[in-house]
Structure 1
Amino acid sequence: MKRYRNLSGHSGVTAYQCGDGFIRVRFVNGDTYEYTDQVPGPEHVRNLCFCAEAGEGLATYISRFVRDAYARKLD
């Protein structure tokens, strides 16, 4: 996983991994969630990867648009 740049300095995200049709996001509490083209859908996965690569807005996007719509919890 790549370290999340956290440009705002206040994110609840520490790391992420973008792949073909998925993104995995690790939060400060250690939980890791996978979001896929199936759940919550390809548009959200693209937007989540965009935020992750930009280093800002990832946790906000998750809380506003996908909330508990994740494919699975890892770990």
Structure 2
Amino acid sequence: MERYLDLDGDSGVVGYEIGDTFIRVQFDRTFKIYTYSYRSAGIDRVEDMKGLARSGDGLNSYIMRYAKKLYE
């Protein structure tokens, strides 16, 4: 699990792991890890989340808007 940079210091995400067809995201309040896969969230959403995770900004907001309950 890689530490999420959180450039603005306002994210609920603390870590992530990127695979070929998924992203796993760890949140700070629950420390639970959620897996968003091509199957559960769709290719476009997962690829968007991968990009945001790598950039260190916007991942939590994106998940809350577009993928909140689309985890496996």
Mark yes or no: TM-score above 0.5.
yes
Query: 1:2-42: per-residue Cα shift (whole Å, max 9, x none)?
Result: 00000010100000001110000000020110000101111
User: Following the alignment from structure 1 to structure 2, what is the Cα–Cα distance between the partners of residues 39 and 48?
Assistant: 13
User: Following the alignment from structure 1 to structure 2, what is the Cα–Cα distance between the partners of residues 67 and 22?
Assistant: 15
User: Following the alignment from structure 1 to structure 2, what is the Cα–Cα distance between the partners of residues 61 and 48?
Assistant: 7
Aligned length: 71
Paired position in structure 1 for 2:65: 64
Which one has a larger percent helix, Structure 1 or Structure 2?
A: 2
Paired position in structure 2 for 1:51: 52
Structure 1 residue identity aligned to 2:40: V
Structure 1 residue identity aligned to 2:55: A
Paired position in structure 1 for 2:41: 40
User: Following the alignment from structure 1 to structure 2, what is the Cα–Cα distance between the partners of residues 67 and 17?
Assistant: 17
Q: Alignment identity in percent?
A: 39
1:31 equivalent to 2:32? Answer: yes
Structure 1: runs of 5 or more not aligned: none
The alignment's C-alpha RMSD in Å is 0.5
Extract structure 1 runs of 4+ deviating beyond 6 A: none
Structure 2: runs of 5 or more not aligned: none
Which one has a larger percent strand, Structure 1 or Structure 2?
A: 1
